[in-house]
Chains A and B, each alone.
Chain A
Amino acid sequence: MNPVKAVIAANRFGLGAKPGELERIRRPETWLLDQLQGPSRTPAELGRLPDSASVLVEAQALRQAQREARSDDEDAVKKYGRWARGHYVDQASARYRHAAATDLPFHERLVHFWCNHFAVSADKQPLPTIAGLMENEAIRPHTSGRFYDLLLAVETHPAMILYLDNQRSIGPGSTLAKRANRRRRDREVGLNENLAREILELHTLGVDGGYTQDDVTSFAKVITGWSIGGAGERGRFADGEPGHFEFREAIHEPGAKTILGKRYSQSGIEQGRAVLSDLATHPSTARFVSSKLARHFVADVPPTDLVDRMVSSWLETGGELASVYRVLIEADESWTAAHSKYKSPHDFVISTLRAFRHVPDRPQFIVGALDLLGQTPYRPGSPEGWPDTAEQWGGADSLYKRIEWSNTVARLIGSRIDPVELGNAVLGQTLDPETRKAISRAESRVQGMTLLLASPDFQRR
C-alpha cells in the first residue's frame, strides 16, 4: 500500500480522514469504487426528515394564515418564519451530522458536488424548507447513475421549479393564455425563462455550450407546464397532487419547437424529457460537467488530458456517471501530489468534525460556523452555486476567520487530544515536518490544535 495515496483518497476524494480511517484504506482505488453505490439503506440522520411534498403543503397553509392574519397579530406573522427556520436547521444539521460520521465519504462528497452543481439557494421562500430535501430526494438516489436520470429528477423537483420560477411560466399559445387574452387579462400571462436558461447555462451545456437566446426562449416554451400541484391559492393552479411535480397541460405551449437546430414534435411533458435526454448526452454537457468534476477533485485548473478522457467515457456510455468517476479514480493525475486543493469552508468544517470524531448535537454549532466562514448551508446565493477554486475562496479575511474558528474549536473540543497524534492520524506522512514541529512546540494543546487546523497541510486537500 502507498500511504500517501490513502491520505489523498481520504482527504481529497473523501471528506477528511477520521482517526483510524487511513489504516483501513488498503487499496485506495478500490476503497473509492466500492463507495459508488452509496449506503444500502437511507442513513438514519436523513431518514428522519419529512418529504418535500408534505412540507410544501404545510408551508402553503401557514403562509395563507399569515396573509389572512391581522397585521398586529405578530404571532401569526412570525409563525411561518419560525417554522421555516426549524426545517432549515433540521436539514442542514442532518446533512453535516451525517457527513461527520459517514464511512462512505466519497459518495457523500459526490452528493454535495451535485447539490452544488444543481444549486438552489435558501434565500427565497419557501426554499429554506426544502433545499436540503431536494438533495436527498432528487440527487442522492442518482449520484452514480445516468446523468439524464439525475437531471430529470432535479428539474422536476419542486425546489428547483420554485427556485427558478417555472411553476407559473405560461405558454403564450396555451389554452389558458388564449382564454386570458380574450378576457384581456394579459398581465399575468407569459413566459418566465429563468429555469430554461439556467438548465442550459449551468446544468448542462455550459455558457459556451453553443446555444442562443432563441434556444432559451424555445426551451422555456418546451417546459411551460412543468409546475407543482396545488401551487397557488388561486383556482387555476390549485389542482394536482399538492406539493408534487405536476404537468399542467393548460399552460403548456403547444406545437413543435426547435432547439440547437433539432425539431421536437413530441407533445406534453414528453417534449421536455426528450430535450433533457439530448442535453444530457450532448458533447458540450459532457465537457462542461467533466471539467467541473475534475476541478473539484484534482486541481483548480483541471488537466486537459484527464478531462478529455472523462468526456470520451461520458459520450461512450451515454452519461453513465459511475464510468466517468472511474476514469477520474484511475487517472494518474488524481494521485500526483497531496494537498493540491484549498478547502472550501464546507470542506474545512466537515474535515474538522471528522478529525475530532465529533458529531455536534447543537445544530447552531454547524450552521453558525459555516455562516461565519462564508458558506451558509444550502445558501450559495445564486443558481451558479459555490465557487470551487482557491482564487475565489482565498480572501484574506476568510483565512483569518478560519484561524479564529480553529482557535474556538480547539478550545471547545480540542483540549483533551494530543495535536501531534491527531495530525499524524488524519494527515499521515503528508503532515509537513515543519508543521509537526510547530505543533509539538506549541504552548498548549489548544494552541497546538489551532496550529494544526489552520496549517496549510490541513487547509488543503
Chain B
Amino acid sequence: MLSRRDVIKALGLTAVASSSPGLALAAADTDSRFVLVVLRGAVDGLALAPPYHDDRYRDVRGELALGKPGTDDGVLELDGFFGLHPSLPTLHELYGANEALLVHAVASPYRERSHFDGQDVLESGATAVGLARDGWLNRALSPLAGTPAIALAQNTPLVLRGDNATTSWAPSRLPDADENTIGRLQRLYAEDEFFATRLEQALKSQEIAMDMGASGRRGNEAQQFGELMTSAARFLVAEDGPRIAVLEFGGWDTHANQGAVAGQLANRLAALDRGLANLRDGLGKAWSDTVVAVATEFGRTVHVNGTRGTDHGTATAAILAGGAVNGGKVIADWPGLSETNLYEGRDLRPTTDLRSVFKGLLADHLELAPSFLDREVFPGSASARPLENLVRT
C-alpha cells in the first residue's frame, strides 16, 4: 500500500501541472484507447479488494470476510495489506504484470445513497445531481476531434451523452432491413434531426460490426457483458473505428445473500474478470495503448445487514487495467475500519475523489489539458487534483 505521503505525491500536490491548449489538440489522432465500464448497483469495494490485513477486517465483515492469501478460499495477494477477490484471476495476473492497479476508499462527490442520483453524479461529472444533462466523457471529446466514441449498449449511458457525436451498438438477432428501405428512411428522416443523426450513427456502427463479423449471441447480463467486451475490442482495433468505448454492467446491489467466496457477488466478479480477459485478448497489440477504468456509483455498508447482504454505502474501490496502466499497486489513503473511522458510523470513509482518478487518466492518457478538465469536463473539481503516474510514460 502507498503511504499517505505517496498519495499526496500522486495527487500532484507537489508537482506543477503543465498545460497548453495545443497539447490537447495534438491528441486528435491518438492511438490511445480508453474503455470505461460503469458497474451499476453499487459494488462492495470491501469484497472486491478486501483489506485483509486491517485489524478490524474480520470482525466488521463477519460472515462476508475472506481468508488471508494462501489459505483455502483466501484472497489473492496484492500488496501485503489488500487482497483481491478470488473470482478475479485475470485482474490478479494483470496486477502481477504491472498492468492493473486499484484505487481504494474512493468515491465521487456524491454523499447520499440513491443509486440513481449516485450514477447521475458519477456520469455527469458534476458536483451534485441535476447540474449537467450531459456526461463528462462526452464533454472530454471536444478537443479530441477524430476520436469517435461508442457505447456498447442500445441506449447511450449518460456519461457519453451530450453535444459531441457518439454512437451506440448492441448485437441483434433480426435480419437487417435492406439498403433500399434504409435509403428511403434516410430521406424520410432528413427533416427531423433527432431521427436523422441517430440513423447515421447507427449505420456507421453497423458497417464496422458487419466487417468484424460481430456475434449476435445473447445470454443473461453476465454472459452478455463478456460478449460485449469482445465486441468492444473489435471496434477499438478497427482502423477507422472508435478509440473510446463505454460499457455498463448491472446487478451489483447485493442487499441480501451477497455471498463471500462464492455466491451472487462472486459470480458477477467472475463475469467482470472474463470480460477483462476478452478485452485484452481481443485487443492484441492495441492492449498496450489501452486503459480500462471500472467504476461504480458508491460502495456499501461496512457491516453485514440483517439479510446477509450490505446496504448502500459511500466509498468503494475502482479498477484501472490495460497495457498503458502503470500498475502493480493499490492507491489508497486508507481510512481504517474501526467504528470511529467509518463515514457516518456505517460506511467506508472516502479519502480519494474518483474525479482525481478520471482526471489523471484524461490528462496523461488522452493528453487533455488540466485547465480544460477543470473548466469543462469536471467543473468545480479544482480541489480534486488529477492523480499522477496512473499511466506509463
Does A pair with B?
Answer: yes
CB of A399 within 8 A of CB of B309, answer no
Contact: B198 with A434, CB < 8 Å?
no
Chain B 291-324 interface mask (CB, 8 Å, partner A; 1/0): 0000000000000111111011000000000000
Closest to A345 in B: B154
- In the complex, are the beta carbons of A397 and B174 less than 8 A apart? no
In the complex, the answer to whether B188 meets A451 with C-beta atoms within 8 Å is yes
User: Residues of B contacting A396 with CB < 8 Å?
Assistant: 156, 167-169, 197-199, 201-202, 205
Task: Provide the bound-state CA to CA distance between A187 and B307, in Å.
Answer: 9
B180 CB, min distance to chain A CBs, angstroms: 7
- Measured CB to CB, the residues of B under 8 A from A are 40-41, 62-63, 112-117, 129, 133, 151, 153-156, 161, 167-170, 172-178, 180-182, 184-185, 187-189, 191-192, 194-195, 197-199, 201-203, 205-206, 221, 250-251, 253, 255-256, 304-309, 311-312, 344
Taking the complex as formed, is A144 at the interface, i.e. its CB lies under 8 A from any CB of chain B? no
What residues of chain A have their CB less than 8 Å away from a CB belonging to chain B?
123, 164-165, 168-170, 187-194, 197, 201, 207-208, 213, 216, 342, 372-374, 381-382, 384, 390-401, 403-408, 434-435, 438, 442-443, 447, 450-451, 454-456, 459
Contact A192 B256 (CB under 8 A): yes
B184 touches A394 (CB 8 A): no
Asked if residues B155 and A454 are in contact (CB atoms below 8 Å), the reply is no
Complex: A450 Cα to B309 Cα, angstroms:
48
Query: What is the minimal beta-carbon distance from B201 to any residue of chain A, in angstroms?
Result: 4
Residues of A within 8 A of B41 (CB): 382
- The answer for the CA separation of A16 and B139 in the assembled complex, in Å, is 38
* A419 CB to nearest B CB, Å: 12
Is there contact, CB below 8 Å, between B305 and A190? yes
Q: List 23 A-B contacts (CB under 8 A).
A: A169-B306, A190-B305, A190-B306, A191-B305, A191-B306, A192-B305, A192-B307, A197-B114, A207-B117, A207-B129, A213-B113, A216-B113, A382-B115, A384-B116, A391-B161, A398-B154, A403-B185, A403-B199, A404-B172, A406-B177, A407-B181, A438-B184, A451-B184
With a cutoff of 8 Å between Cβ atoms, the chain A residues found around residue B173 in the complex are 372
Contact of A394 among B172, B182, B194 (CB under 8 A): B194
Contacts of B203 in A (CB 8 A): 400
Query: Which residue on chain A has the smallest CB distance to residue B155?
Result: A395
Max chain A C-beta neighbours (<10 A), residue from B115, B177, B197, B205: B177
Question: Smallest distance from the beta carbon of A63 to chain B beta carbons, Å?
Answer: 13
In the complex, are the beta carbons of B177 and A450 less than 8 A apart? yes
Tell me the minimal C-beta distance from A27 to chain B in angstroms: 32
Question: Across the interface, which residues of B come within 8 angstroms of A443, CB to CB?
Answer: 180
Inter-chain CA distance A459–B188, complex, in Å, is 13
Q: Which residues of A contact B305 (CB under 8 A)?
A: 190-193
Question: Are A395 and B151 CB-contacts (below 8 A) given A165-B256, A197-B113, A451-B184?
Answer: yes
Chain A residues closer than 8 Å to B129, beta-carbon distance? 207-208
CB-based contact B174/A401 at 8 Å: yes
Asked whether A399 and B174 contact (CB < 8 A) given A192-B256, A192-B307, the answer is: no
